[in-house]
Amino acid sequence: MAPIIQLLVFGYAVTTDVKDAAMIVYDRDNSTESRQLIQALTAAGYFRVVATAERAQDITTALDHGRAIIALEIPRGFQGISPRDSRPRCNS
């Protein structure tokens, strides 16, 4: 009986919605498009930029120390990439 009660109570209390997630950004392109991408990701309230990285090691440090839970790395040449020419890549 207790598991059923827990399921009912926690089913309403626990949410899987991403909201205000701490994000570190490594913008290697510094283009208008890369800034627009960052703005689009933060505007909806799902992500919040807590730090910007100057090198790849900054990402690892921020994630390892809990300052961020997600990282966004925008490669050089992002401005010139056509959405039709490439596929998104996710590293875990």
Report the pLDDT value the prediction gives residue 14, as an integer from 0 to 100: 62
Question: Can you give the pLDDT of all 92 residues of the chain as single tens digits?
Answer: 667 776 666 666 666 677 889 999 999 999 999 999 999 999 989 999 999 999 999 999 999 999 999 999 999 988 877 666 566 566 65
Domain count, the chain: 1
Report the pLDDT value the prediction gives residue 59, as an integer from 0 to 100: 96
Report the pLDDT value the prediction gives residue 48, as an integer from 0 to 100: 95
Cα gap 89→92, rounded to integer Å: 10
- The answer to whether position 33 is within a domain reads yes
Give the structural domain span for 62.
28-78
* Cα separation values, 39 from 1, 22, 35, 56, 72, Å: 48, 14, 6, 21, 12
- The answer to whether position 19 is within a domain reads no
